[in-house]
Amino acid sequence: MSATLPQPPGTVATFAQLLSSTRRGARLARLLATTQLRAWDLSPDVTERAEQTVAELATNAALHGRVQGRDTRLALTLDATTGLLRIAVTDAEGGQLPVVPTDSPTDRETGRGLLMVGALADRWGTEPHPPGGKTVWATLSASSTTATRDAPPRG
């Protein structure tokens, strides 16, 4: 016989929305994320970084992960226990994984979105989304502030 041990009450808030795989859908992803992040009463620093991260991931999904007739999915998960905000954008194109450009001349107009995501998020990565899609995700510490992110290392 197995018994379930009592678990401390943890709060996980979620938001998910299917959107068209278009530039308009990417814009709507950012607007919906902004509304939800403000409803969760996150700090302005976290909200701003999350908004920009959503914008980059949703735009990449619309430009590079679009499959005609298939939607993009935006998911936000706020785990109060760990203090992490997870942003995930799932598209239908699984064959081409995102690549961070190794050469990023300042005069290029494209190709720097994932560099921005890497700078804004604490971690990011990809995972397959069967049968043929992929999810690009990023996590941000929901308790961080600009002051602590920009502070010099101690020691």
Which of 147, 142, 5 lies closest to 81, judged by CA? 142
Q: Please tell me the predicted confidence (pLDDT) of residue 51.
A: 96
DSSP character string of 41-90: T--HHHHHHHHHHHHHHHHHHHHHS--TT--EEEEEEEETTTTEEEEEEE
Distances in whole angstroms, Cα of residue 15 to Cα of each of 66, 79, 103: 22, 12, 35
The pLDDT tens digits for 3-15 are 655 555 668 999 9
The residue ranges of every structural domain in the chain are 12-98+112-149
For domain 12-98+112-149, the CATH superfamily is: Histidine kinase-like ATPase, C-terminal domain (3.30.565.10)
Q: Which pTM does this prediction carry?
A: 0.79
The lowest-confidence range among 67-76, 100-109, 134-143 is: 100-109
Structure tokens at 73: 């999915």
Task: Decide if pLDDT at 32 tops 60.
Answer: yes
Residue 22: per-residue pLDDT = 86
- 46 vs 19, 40, 74, 81, 148, CA distance in Å? 23, 11, 18, 17, 12
**Cβ distance 129 to 73 under 8 Å?**
no
Alpha-carbon gap, residue 1 to 78, rounded angstroms: 34
